[in-house]
Structures are given as structure tokens and as C-alpha cells.
């Protein structure tokens, strides 16, 4: 271990292990929420790229009562099910049917929408932890850690199979640059670099409740990033056991570090297959119920109110200010005002 | 010796053309043995002497003269030594007083009885039979019993040569050699690895027996005698693919972190390999690590590695002998498909107190041999311990400073003479390992083994060996990170008893025996963050039985056979159900040796073996925490048919050994883990294991130079290891590479002796990259970039190669001074090859997936070790 830690090195390598066959990838999530639902259809690219999208497919959603709804081709491999076209109901089964322009047809297995499990509490902490700097020095840094408390049983008493996703946004206000420009409020969405799959299964767990379970963590500069309003939005997906197993396998293959502790990886088969054919299809049609919880930061005690990047200085002449100081929506990762922001 | 003056011209090619004038050149450190060796080479003679006789020589004065006699006379002028010529081209250097005794009454007696005119010399006289019966029979059947001088234990595998008769024989496991020779005097040599060769005049009067004692104390002579260690044993041994290794061979190799290592020593043999640095265990002829039976003093070892494979668990300072069976496995061994590694600790009753030790870069060691009851019993103690944690704490890189790694091992062996010829021992082994990386995850595991042995001759022909052993392995894997904090305990226990009765009769050595092993996995227990027990799983164990008979039969000088039959059985001990599975099998074993000339032989072997335990792993390489599973209705025992045929040839008086061997193994019910299977706390783990056929085959080439200033080995193995399994339930089985399928393996090892005080060693290793399951494309699932992996083991990582060197400086190497020490400087991976352990992907700065290689050793690794003995 000493040797391993002292002399182990990781470096890029040109590795020829390309699979020439461009496999079809279909991925979609259907929930009980009344909103647009999305299916993406791609073909795998060579290793390191995300491949090419598939246009012109027909995408259809069926339920076990014979109802169906058509997805709309929104371009770039994205197909959208309009809000209200088919509402998800807990306990009902759904199937996705995809027909490609070459008339090859793919179907998912029937997936039953599981019961949702409510989040009892969502909260965050600003914690200071040591990390290794670029010059190999131990430096204390601030992390924002988001935790949840949730029961591990559905209302029907079933065990929980959970997956979480996280969205973090804050607002900032730019300058009024001249008589014709009002100061505007923009909404910044933090790029999700915490892309680990956060999963939990209570199959082997006798606990009734999951407490202070870490679902999100990232390095933060609290005195800069935490404005007056700062939202953490946690989506808790209740999954079927098979869907959970799929994500668990995805987690294994996504977290390979090449070490001796890695589990042996493999291709992850999903729940879609070709009708009257045998070509391999990757991806998954996930039918899940989701609950969303959010927590709002107004922690004035730890947050110094800095609205704009440091390059913007109100006291400087306007012509010396970068454009984004006047037009905050030109900054990267700006999004329209999220619904949960309300009237704030 | 402080100073030697020699004629460097002896080393010069010019010598061949100008032997009449020898320039005098001074070489202060040229040792006596090499000086003699040069004389032997140049004058084409053999010169025999004992190291203790020449140890008193402080300075060799300048020597003048053109003939060998003149050189020797001059060299020994101021000493009490003399020399004697005999048999034309042989010389003996000995104390002058002993030389006069050569022409003793016994010599005269023999000379008179046999009316020989041949000039016999200053070598021991060995008498067999009744001298009054000389002349009654032209041939005599003699039985030699080769014994260890110190403990009087039989020496197996010693080679007897009677060159004038073209006779070569090897002693059996009870040390016996039976041979028919003409009555008369025969110049005879008896050699065995690790012992001083015995050269004597064997005076055969009539049929009879003789005990011959080999002295292993004088190590210097091994380097003096031209003929090599274990000469012709490779040719004459009845078993194909059997190799004996001595502690000296282990210590002569370039070493990692300055520590010699048993497993590193067997890796220079063809057909033996590892997956690289940082991986546990070793692989023999394409068999997985669980297919190797490892016994130390009869005790079973389920894990052979410390520190995730950087060191083996065996302390080389305590080892007396190591025997590796990788082809023919005699019937007395069973339960593992590929090989048997038998390690015997020093079993002699020590006469003197000996303390040895070493201080290295990361590890220190100490070994002690001491008499308890003079001539009756003795104690052997040894321990090794790392202090790598201390070094880790000194490193400024926080991840490393927050990590820990350590191991220790401890050996105890008590040897006791029982009665006239019996011996008994009590051997205990304990080791512990702990590895933790940056408070994120870690393992610890420990081994406890104890064995009790009693070896007792029952009469002149029967010998009894009884071994009772027990052991307990326990491992823990833990993840102290906050939300998923856990600790899982697991392990195995066993009890084993084995009784061998060895009969030596006529030209047979027959071993009959019975063996019983109770394998008992410990409960697997999960503890939560606060230490509370959360889950407990009981796994099935069982009783394994073996009943066997094996006979080594020297049919003629040309033909010998080792044939055996083993009945093996396994009774599952189901912890839940009372319906226990029961398996029984017959295992034929056969090895045939045909001597094709005095220096060559052909050996062929076949054996069938059943294995009732499976080691399953779901990681890239095995971990010490992996699960051993007993055979059951859902997990059938695996069975192998092993075939091999080889040609063995020695050259130049056995200075060179060579062999070429073909092997093929067919395996049934090989166990392979399904993709994504979880091993920890999986109550239905058998359902995640698929079984199928397997086959391994290959060619092994081996060349070894045994002696001289330059020694070395070259081995090349072509080997394939394939599985026929369906890893997914909805797929048809297909042939895939196993995780150890590396077709080309080459090992080149050199050892150059500059002087008695200094030597240089070099080791080069090359092998094909190991198979991996590689990502071939990537795709996006929502926000998650997912690599798509190939079929299992479809690709190979880049080839592996590495060069190591070591330079050792010794003090007091020739003289028998009580304190001896040495310093070894070594560089592992000299040219800093970044051998890939694995290839994986991760996102680069642009969030695109790129391939990376993980190299366990990313640079050259120098080390220094100080060893001492007194």
C-alpha cells in the first residue's frame, strides 16, 4: 500500500478497444408529475464521445388500460411527451414503444409505477474539510453538503429503492448600466459536477428511516456564492427493484477507477429490446414516482452579500466593466426563473 | 581473506597461447574459490577442498610456475595444506596430515581386496557389505540411506552418480537409494541442493546398506564445485514438473524493497506467473490462485500474500526447502487442481545459537535458532514487521498521510527428537495485514495456523509421517465514510489430519495414507456505524476426505514410474438444511520417466484432481477478503485432467539444465462470478456464480546455468487459459479468455559473482498484457456519462516488462567468523516502466471520457537492506 500510494500513477493512454457497432441508446423517465416527459434516442459514438442522435423516430407511451400517447420530435434526439398527454398513476404499468425511421421497432418491458416516498426533511450544511491542493498541500475548504431524512417504507409497507437528483440555483442582480438599462435579476444553475449516482436500497436494511443521508456535496465559496436566495431542490425517485438494479449497475461501471478494488465491469442491459430482432439496445425506460423537496438558504449570518462576479465593480466606469456586469444573462449557466422560485 | 594475489592472466584469453609465462598481477579481493575455479577451467581438472580448510588463509603469496602442480605448491607453501592428485585429472586440497591418512589401512585393505591398481585418493572411503564375502558375487545390491548430518532426517531427492558405471539414482522421500553395482571400488558422488556434495570411494564388498550423512553446514563448497546444485535431479526425478527451491536460490534474486521473497523466486520458473504488482497470489499453468495447494509444515494457507501481493506471507529466513509440483501431482496431495507448494521450515535440531535479521526500507526481520535440550530439541523463531505507517505519516500528501498500511508475521517451530530416529515438531504461524486508504475504505486480514508433526521410522522399510494442523483466517472490510459506514467480518477455519506410511522396498517407494480436512467458514457479520450488528450470514462448510496409494517404481535404469490412486470425497455441512451434498471421486495419477541418455530424459504425466472449494472474486484481481465457498448441490466441485510431457537435457557436467514441456489441462465446473454480483453478505451467492468448462494449454522452455561466476535462468512460457461459460442467464455459453490468459511470458535472470564479497543480479520479466473488460463506447443517461463495456476479458492491456537489478556486498563471507553481514542495493523496475495494471475511463476537463491507465509502480523503486547473522 505504501508503494501503491507513493508510486502509483494514472496517465492518459491511447487505448484501441473501439466497438465499431453503433448501439442504439434509448433513455426516458416517466413520472406521476404533471409535466413534460422526455425520451432521448442516440447511437453510441466512439469511446470518449457521446455519439449521434437519432431523428425521425416514432415514440409512443402505452398504459395497461390501453391508453397511449405520442411523443413529439423536439430535435437533437429529444422526444417530448406534452404535459397531460398521459398522466402517470401509481400502480399502473407503462410501456415505451420506439419505431425508428428504418421501421425497426423497440419495446420496453411493462414497468409499474411505484409508490412515492415523501422526504421528511432536506437541509444543508456548510462544512469545512481538508482537501489536497494542486501543490499537494492540505488546505481547509468549505463544502456545501445537502442531506435528507426519509422513511424507508412506502405507505403500503414496501421496501424503498431510491435515487436522488439535485438542482441548485441562486439569483444575482446585475448593474444598471446607463439610463436605458435596468438592473436585472438572473438565475444561476450550478453545473452538476456531483454526477455520482446517489442510490439507496432498504432490502438489506432493517432501518425504518434514513437520516442525514448525504445526497449532494460540492466545494463552495460561501461568501461569494450564497446570495440572499439560494435553493437546493432534491428530487427523490422511488424505483422498482429492477430499475434500482439497473442504476446500481450503471453506478458500478461509471465509478471505475482502474484499481484492484473495482468490480469487474460489463455492459449494462436495459429493459428495451428489439421486436423481431436481436440488436442490442442500451438505456432504460424508467417509470418512477418522484417527490421534490427544496430548501431555501437565507443565511445572512454566514453570507456576505455579493451579487456579481468580482470583476464587476460598481465604482468602475461602465466601459471598463465586462458585458455580463450589465447583462447578467450573458453569464454561463443562466436559466429562466425556475417555477419553485415563486414570487421571490 | 584480506588479500589474494592471483595471476590475472588466468582470466585472459592470452593465457591459452602463453601458458609458459604468467604475469603477476594483484587483485586484492579475488576469492580463493574463484581462483580455484579458474585453475580448474584452464587446466581442465577438478579440485576438491572444504571451505573450512582454506578459511585460515589470510594471504595468497605471489605464485610462479607454469604447471598446475607448481601453482598449487606455490599457493599452499605457507599453509598447512597440501594437495593430492588422483584419477588422472582430479586434485584434492586438504590438511597435510589428512593427506597422509589417505593411504590408510582401509585404503590398503580395499586395494588389496580388489587388487586394483587404480590410484585412489584423498576422498572418504565408504564401505558396504562384508569384506569376507568379496569374490562370491560379481554384483551386489546396495541400499544407501541419505540423511541430514544435523538432524538425521532422510534427505529426499539426493542424486547418486557413479560415472564410471553410468549410474545415476535419486533418493526417495525416505532418503533411500537402491542400486545394483559390481562389487569393487567406485568413485561416487552424492549431491543434493543445499548440501555439501559428498565424493567418496564406494567400496562394495557384498550386498549391504550404508547410512550417508550430508552436511548442509558448509555453504561455501556449493560455489566451489563445478557441477551444479541438484545436478541431474531434473532428469532423474520421477515427477514431471517438480521443482525444489532452496533458501539460497530465493535470496539470490533481485528483490523488491530489498526483501527476498519465496513467491518471487518461483515466478522465475516457467508456467508460474502473477497479474503484476499489487495483486495477490500466483498462477500456475493457467490455473487460478485458488487452484494452488499451499502447505507450510503441513498447515494449509488460503492466502499467500502480504500487502496485496507485494510480499508473500512466508519468511524466507526460516525456510529449509520448498517443493513445487506443477505437472505430476502425487496421490498424497489433493484438493487443488493446478499445483502444490510445499514449504518445510528448518527441521533440524539446532546445535548452536544463531541469530539473523535484517533492516530494510519498509520492513525489519529477526530469526533465531537455539538449542533447548542439547542434541535433543531446539527452537526456531522468526518475525517480520513493517513500519510503513511511520513513513506514510512523514509524507506531506494528505491522502497518503491519512492512509495506513502494515503487516507482520511470526513463526515458531519447536523440533524434538523422539527416540532413536524419530522427530516431532510443533509449528505455529500468525500474520496480520491492514490496509486503509484515506479513511475511505480498508481491509484487514489475519492468519493463524498451527501444526503438529511426528515422523518416525517403524522399521528398516517403513516410515510414518503424521501431521495434524488447524487454522483460522479472518478478514474484515470496512468503509468508514459517513453515510454508508460499515464493517464486514468473514473468514474460514479448518482442521486437518494426515497420516502417511512410507514403505521402501526393492526399487519401490510406496506411500499409503489417509487425509481429512474439515472446512468451516466463519459467519459473515455486518456491523453498522455505531458497531451494532446488522446482519449475519452463515455459509456452508464440509468435510473432505482422501485415501491414497502412490508408488514410485524404478523399473530399470532407463524407466521409472510414479503411479497412484486417490479416492477423494466431500460431505457438505449445510448450516440450514439437513440435505447435505456428497461427492466422491477416484483420481488416477501417473508419471513416467524414460531416461534417453545419461544426461537426458523424457517425462510424461497424467493426473485427475477434484477441488471442493471455490474462491470467487468480483474484482479485477483477487483480494484477501474474497469468499471461499464449499461445494454444494448448486456449486459443483471442479475437476481437472492434467496432461504434460517434457524433455529434459543437461549439458557440460550438469552445469546447464534445460527442459521443454507441453501441458494441457481440461477443467469441468470452473466457477466464474456473474457480472455485477455482490459477494458481501449475499446469502444466495451460489446463484451469482456460473460454472462451465475450462482449458489451459501451453509450452514451457527452461534453461539454467547452475554454477560458475555467471549463473542464471531463462524461461519462456506460451500459455492460454480459456473458459466456456454463459455469464448471463439469457446467453449461450462461449469460450472467453480467463482473467489470467497471458499467452507469452518470459523471465531472464542473471547472477554474476565479482568476488566472494560482491555479486550482481539482474532480472528481466516480460509478459503479454492481461485480459480486461474495456470500455468501447460512451453514452449519456440523463446527466450521467456511462461507458459501455465489452464482453468480459475481450481486450488486453499493454504488455508488461520490467528490469530489476541488485548488488550485494558481503563481509566475512569466506572465513567462518561468527558475525556475517551484507548490504543489498536494489532497484526494482530500473527503467521506470509504467506497466498498466488496468485501463479505465474518466472525464477530462471538457467532460469527455478519456482512457487512462493505472500503473501500480510508476517509477523505478530503489531500496537498501542490511542483513546480518551471528
Inter-chain residue contact A204 with B396, CB threshold 8 Å: no
What pLDDT is recorded for position A3? 47
Residue bearing cell 439560494: A230
Tens of pLDDT, residues B79-122: 778 777 654 566 777 777 666 444 343 444 444 444 444 434 45
Inter-chain residue contact B850 with A12, CB threshold 8 Å: yes
Tens of pLDDT, residues B11-66: 333 333 333 334 343 444 557 777 777 777 777 777 777 777 777 665 555 545 56
> How far is it, in rounded angstroms, from Cα B171 to Cα B147?
10
CA nearest to A12, candidates B285, B855, B577: B855
Residue bearing cell 452579500: A305
What pLDDT is recorded for position B228? 31
Inter-chain residue contact B673 with A264, CB threshold 8 Å: yes
The nearest alpha carbon in chain A to B834 belongs to: A9
Residue B764 C-alpha, separation from nearest chain A C-alpha, in angstroms: 20
C-alpha R_g of chain A: 23
- pLDDT 10s digit of each residue in chain A, 344 long? 444 445 566 777 777 666 667 889 999 999 999 899 999 999 988 777 778 889 999 999 999 999 999 999 999 999 999 998 998 999 999 999 999 999 999 999 999 999 999 999 998 888 887 776 666 566 778 888 889 999 988 877 788 899 998 888 888 777 777 777 777 888 888 776 656 788 888 876 667 888 888 888 888 776 666 655 778 899 999 999 999 999 999 988 887 776 667 788 888 989 999 998 788 899 999 999 999 888 877 655 444 444 556 667 767 776 777 777 888 888 888 888 888 777 65
Tens of pLDDT, residues B152-167: 778 877 888 887 777 8
Number of neighbouring beta carbons within 10 Å of residue B746: 17
The nearest alpha carbon in chain B to A52 belongs to: B779
H helix or E strand, kind and range, residue B75? helix B68-75
> How far is it, in rounded angstroms, from Cα A324 to Cα A329?
7
Beta-bridged to residue B660, according to DSSP, are B647, B701
The grid coordinates of residue A21 equal 457497432
What pLDDT is recorded for position B785? 82
Residue count of chain B: 870
The nearest alpha carbon in chain B to A43 belongs to: B779
- Mention every residue, 6+ apart, whose C-beta is less than 8 A from residue A313: A321
Q: Which residues of B touch A133 (CB under 8 A)?
A: none
What pLDDT is recorded for position B452? 97
Q: Of chain A residues 183-212, which have a CB less than 8 A from chain B?
A: 192, 195, 197, 204-206, 212
Inter-chain residue contact A264 with B773, CB threshold 8 Å: yes
Q: Which residues of B touch A263 (CB under 8 A)?
A: 618-619, 676
Number of neighbouring beta carbons within 10 Å of residue B35: 23
Inter-chain residue contact A1 with B388, CB threshold 8 Å: yes
Q: Of chain A residues 260-279, which have a CB less than 8 A from chain B?
A: 260-269
Question: Helix, strand, coil proportions of chain B in percent (round to 5)?
Answer: 10, 55, 35
What pLDDT is recorded for position B12? 32
CA nearest to B497, candidates B544, B427, B550, B446: B544
Mutate to test the interface with A, among B675, B777, B856 (most CBs of A within 10 A): B777
Inter-chain residue contact A2 with B849, CB threshold 8 Å: no
Mutate to test the interface with A, among B258, B623, B781 (most CBs of A within 10 A): B781
- Alpha-carbon distance values, B16 to B36, B66, B507 (Å): 17, 12, 48
Inter-chain residue contact A27 with B782, CB threshold 8 Å: yes
* pLDDT more than 70, % of chain B: 80
Chain A contact for B400, CB < 8 A? yes
Inter-chain residue contact B840 with A258, CB threshold 8 Å: yes
**Residues B450-461, mean pLDDT to the nearest whole number:** 91
Q: Are B463 and B502 in contact (CB under 8 A)?
A: yes
Chain A contact for B837, CB < 8 A? yes
Inter-chain residue contact A260 with B308, CB threshold 8 Å: yes
Inter-chain residue contact A27 with B727, CB threshold 8 Å: no
The partner residue sitting opposite B851, judged by closest CB among A12, A131, A136, is: A12
H helix or E strand, kind and range, residue A326? helix A323-326
Inter-chain residue contact A204 with B856, CB threshold 8 Å: no
> How far is it, in rounded angstroms, from Cα B296 to Cα B303?
12
pTM of the entire predicted model: 0.75
Inter-chain residue contact B437 with A205, CB threshold 8 Å: no
What pLDDT is recorded for position B9? 32
Chain B contact for A248, CB < 8 A? yes
- Mention every residue, 6+ apart, whose C-beta is less than 8 A from residue B583: B569, B570, B610, B612, B631, B636, B637
DSSP class of residue B582?
E
φ and ψ of B840, to 5 deg: -145, 180
Beta-carbon pairs below 8 A across chains A and B? 238
The grid coordinates of residue A14 equal 491511447
Chain B contact for A42, CB < 8 A? yes
Beta-bridged to residue B600, according to DSSP, are B597, B649
Chain B contact for A323, CB < 8 A? no
Chain B contact for A14, CB < 8 A? yes
Amino acid at each position: 500500500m505504501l508503494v501503491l500510494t507513493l508510486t502509483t500513477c494514472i496517465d492518459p493512454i491511447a487505448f484501441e478497444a473501439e466497438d465499431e457497432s453503433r448501439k442504439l441508446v434509448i433513455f426516458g423517465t416517466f413520472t406521476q408529475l404533471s409535466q413534460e416527459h422526455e425520451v432521448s434516442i442516440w447511437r453510441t459514438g466512439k469511446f470518449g464521445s457521446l455519439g449521434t442522435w437519432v431523428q425521425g423516430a416514432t415514440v409512443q407511451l402505452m398504459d395497461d388500460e390501453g391508453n397511449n400517447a405520442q411523443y413529439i420530435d423536439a430535435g437533437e434526439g429529444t422526444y417530448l411527451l406534452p404535459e397531460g398527454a398521459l398522466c402517470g398513476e401509481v400502480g399502473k404499468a407503462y410501456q415505451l414503444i420506439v419505431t425508428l425511421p428504418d421501421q425497426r421497432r423497440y419495446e420496453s418491458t411493462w414497468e409499474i409505477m411505484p409508490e412515492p416516498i415523501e422526504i421528511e426533511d432536506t437541509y444543508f450544511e456548510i462544512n469545512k474539510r481538508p482537501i489536497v491542493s494542486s501543490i499537494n498541500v492540505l488546505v481547509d475548504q468549505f463544502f456545501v453538503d445537502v442531506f435528507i431524512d426519509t422513511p424507508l417504507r412506502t405507505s403500503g409497507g414496501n421496501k424503498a429503492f431510491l435515487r436522488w437528483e439535485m438542482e441548485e440555483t441562486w439569483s444575482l442582480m446585475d448593474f444598471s448600466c446607463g439610463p436605458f438599462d435596468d438592473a436585472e435579476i438572473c438565475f444561476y444553475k450550478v453545473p452538476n459536477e456531483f454526477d455520482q449516482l446517489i442510490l439507496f436500497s432498504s432490502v438489506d436494511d432493517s432501518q425504518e428511516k434514513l437520516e442525514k443521508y448525504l445526497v449532494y456535496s460540492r466545494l463552495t465559496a460561501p461568501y461569494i456564492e450564497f446570495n440572499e436566495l439560494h435553493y437546493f431542490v432534491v428530487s427523490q425517485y422511488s424505483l422498482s427493484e429492477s430499475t434500482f438494479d439497473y442504476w446500481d449497475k450503471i453506478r458500478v461501471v461509471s465509478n471505475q477507477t482502474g484499481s484492484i478494488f473495482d468490480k469487474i465491469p460489463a455492459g449494462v442491459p436495459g429493459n428495451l429490446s428489439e421486436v423481431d430482432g436481436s440488436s442490442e439496445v442500451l438505456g432504460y425506460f424508467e417509470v418512477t414516482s418522484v417527490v421534490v423537496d427544496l430548501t431555501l438558504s437565507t443565511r445572512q449570518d454566514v453570507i456576505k452579500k455579493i451579487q456579481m462576479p468580482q470583476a464587476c465593480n460598481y465604482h468602475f466606469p461602465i466601459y471598463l466593466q465586462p458585458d455580463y456586469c450589465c447583462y447578467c444573462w450573458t453569464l454561463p449557466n443562466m436559466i429562466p426563473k425556475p417555477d419553485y422560485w415563486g414570487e421571490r | 581473506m584480506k588479500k589474494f594475489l592471483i595471476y590475472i592472466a588466468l582470466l585472459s584469453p592470452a593465457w591459452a597461447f602463453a601458458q609458459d609465462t604468467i604475469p603477476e598481477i594483484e587483485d586484492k579481493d579475488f576469492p580463493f574459490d574463484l581462483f580455484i575455479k579458474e585453475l580448474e577451467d584452464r587446466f581442465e581438472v577438478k579440485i576438491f577442498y572444504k571451505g573450512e580448510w582454506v578459511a585460515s588463509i589470510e594471504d595468497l603469496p605471489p605464485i610462479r610456475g607454469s604447471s598446475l602442480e607448481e601453482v598449487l605448491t606455490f599457493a599452499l607453501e605457507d599453509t598447512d595444506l597440501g594437495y593430492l592428485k588422483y584419477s588422472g585429472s582430479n586434485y584434492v586440497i586438504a590438511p597435510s596430515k589428512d593427506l597422509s591418512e589417505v593411504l590408510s589401512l582401509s585404503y590398503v585393505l580395499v586395494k588389496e581386496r580388489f587388487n586394483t591398481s587404480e590410484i585412489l585418493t584423498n576422498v572418504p572411503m565408504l564401505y558396504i557389505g562384508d569384506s569376507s564375502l568379496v569374490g562370491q558375487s560379481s554384483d551386489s545390491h546396495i541400499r544407501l540411506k541419505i540423511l541430514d548430518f544435523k538432524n538425521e532426517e532422510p534427505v529426499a531427492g539426493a542424486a547418486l552418480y557413479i560415472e564410471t558405471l553410468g549410474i545415476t539414482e535419486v533418493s526417495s522421500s525416505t532418503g533411500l537409494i537402491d542400486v545394483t553395482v559390481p562389487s569393487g571400488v567406485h568413485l561416487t558422488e552424492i549431491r543434493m541442493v543445499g548440501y555439501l556434495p559428498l565424493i567418496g570411494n564406494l567400496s562394495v564388498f557384498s550386498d549391504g546398506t550404508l547410512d550417508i550423512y550430508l552436511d548442509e553446514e558448509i555453504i561455501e563448497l556449493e560455489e566451489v564445485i563445478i557441477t551444479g546444485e541438484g545436478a541431474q535431479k531434473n532428469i532423474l526425478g520421477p515427477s514431471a514438473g517438480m521443482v525444489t527451491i532452496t533458501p539460497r536460490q530465493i535470496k539470490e534474486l533481485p528483490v523488491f524493497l530489498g526483501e527476498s521473497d519465496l513467491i518471487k523466486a518461483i515466478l522465475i520458473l516457467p508456467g508460474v506467473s502473477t497479474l503484476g504488482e499489487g495483486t495477490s497470489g500466483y498462477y500456475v499453468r493457467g490455473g487460478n490462485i485458488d487452484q494452488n495447494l499451499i502447505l507450510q509444515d503441513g498447515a494449509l494457507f488460503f492466502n499467500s500474500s502480504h500487502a496485496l501481493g507485494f510480499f508473500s506471507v512466508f519468511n524466507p529466513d526460516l525456510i529449509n526447502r520448498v517443493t513445487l509440483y506443477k505437472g505430476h501431482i502425487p496421490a498424497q496431495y489433493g484438493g487443488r487442481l493446478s499445483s502444490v507448494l510445499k514449504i518445510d521450515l528448518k527441521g533440524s535440531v539446532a546445535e548452536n545459537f544463531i541469530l539473523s535479521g535484517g533492516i530494510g526500507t519498509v520492513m525489519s526481520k529477526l530469526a533465531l535458532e537455539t538449542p533447548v535440550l542439547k542434541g535433543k530439541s531446539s527452537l526456531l523463531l522468526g518475525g517480520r514487521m513493517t513500519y510503513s505507517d511511520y513513513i506514510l505519516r512523514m509524507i506531506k500528501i494528505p491522502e497518503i498521510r491519512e492512509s495506513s498500511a502494515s503487516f507482520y508475521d511470526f513463526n515458531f517451530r519447536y523440533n524434538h527428537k523422539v527416540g532413536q530416529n524419530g522427530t516431532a515438531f510443533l509449528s505455529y504461524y500468525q500474520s496480520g495485514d491492514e490496509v486503509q486508504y484515506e479513511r475511505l475504505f480498508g481491509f484487514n486480514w489475519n492468519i493463524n495456523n498451527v501444526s503438529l508433526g511426528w515422523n518416525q521410522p517403524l522399521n528398516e522399510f517403513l516410515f510414518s509421517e503424521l501431521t495434524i494442523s488447524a487454522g483460522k483466517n479472518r478478514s474484515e472490510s470496512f468503509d468508514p465514510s459517513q453515510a454508508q459506514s460499515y464493517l464486514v467480518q468473514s473468514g474460514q477455519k479448518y482442521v486437518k489430519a494426515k497420516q502417511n506410511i512410507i514403505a521402501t522396498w526393492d526399487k519401490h517407494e510406496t506411500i499409503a495414507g489417509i487425509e481429512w480436512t474439515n472446512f468451516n467458514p466463519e459467519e459473515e457479520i455486518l456491523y453498522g456505524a455505531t458497531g451494532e450488528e446488522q446482519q449475519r450470514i452463515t455459509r456452508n462448510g464440509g468435510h473432505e476426505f482422501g485415501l491414497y496409494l502412490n508408488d514410485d517404481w524404478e523399473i530399470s535404469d532407463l524407466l521409472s514410474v510414479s503411479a497412484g490412486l486417490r479416492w477423494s470425497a466431500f460431505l457438505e455441512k449445510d448450516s440450514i438444511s439437513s440435505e447435505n451434498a456428497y461427492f466422491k471421486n477416484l483420481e488416477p495419477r501417473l508419471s513416467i520417466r524414460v531416461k534417453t541418455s545419461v544426461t537426458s530424459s523424457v517425462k510424461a504425466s497424467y493426473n485427475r484432481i477434484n477441488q471442493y472449494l471455490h474462491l470467487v472474486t468480483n474484482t479485477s484481481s483477487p483480494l484477501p477478503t474474497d469468499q471461499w465457498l464449499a461445494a454444494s448441490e448448486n456449486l459443483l466441485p471442479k475437476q481437472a485432467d492434467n496432461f504434460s510431457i517434457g524433455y529434459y537435457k543437461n549439458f557440460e557436467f550438469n552445469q546447464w539444465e534445460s527442459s521443454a514441456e507441453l501441458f494441457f489441462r481440461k477443467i469441468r465446473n470452473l466457477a466464474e462470478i456473474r457480472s455485477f454480483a455482490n459477494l458481501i453478505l449475499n446469502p444466495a451467492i451460489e446463484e451469482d456464480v456460473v460454472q462451465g468448462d475450462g482449458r489451459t494449454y501451453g509450452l514451457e522452455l527452461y534453461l539454467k546455468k547452475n554454477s560458475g561466476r555467471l549463473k542464471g535462468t531463462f524461461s519462456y512460457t506460451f500459455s492460454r487459459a480459456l473458459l466456456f461459460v454463459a455469464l448471463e442467464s439469457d446467453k449461450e455459453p462461449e469460450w472467453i479468455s480467463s482473467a489470467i490468459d497471458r499467452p507469452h511470458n518470459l523471465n531472464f535472470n542473471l547472477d554474476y559473482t565479482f568476488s566472494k564479497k560482491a555479486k550482481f543480479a539482474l532480472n528481466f520479466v516480460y509478459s503479454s498484457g492481461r485480459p480486461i473488460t474495456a470500455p468501447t463506447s460512451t453514452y449519456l443517461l440523463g446527466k450521467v456519462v456511462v461507458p459501455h463495456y465489452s464482453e468480459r476479458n475481450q481486450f488486453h492491456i499493454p504488455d508488461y516488462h520490467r528490469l530489476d537489478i541488485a548488488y550485494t556486498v558481503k563481509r566475512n563471507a569466506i572465513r567462518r567468523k561468527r558475525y556475517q553481514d551484507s548490504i543489498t542495493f536494489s532497484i526494482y523496475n530500473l527503467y521506470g516502466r509504467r506497466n498498466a495494471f488496468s485501463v479505465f475511463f474518466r472525464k477530462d476537463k471538457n467532460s469527455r471520457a478519456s482512457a487512462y491507465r493505472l500503473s501500480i509502480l510508476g517509477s523505478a523503486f530503489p531500496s537498501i537492506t542490511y542483513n546480518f547473522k551471528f
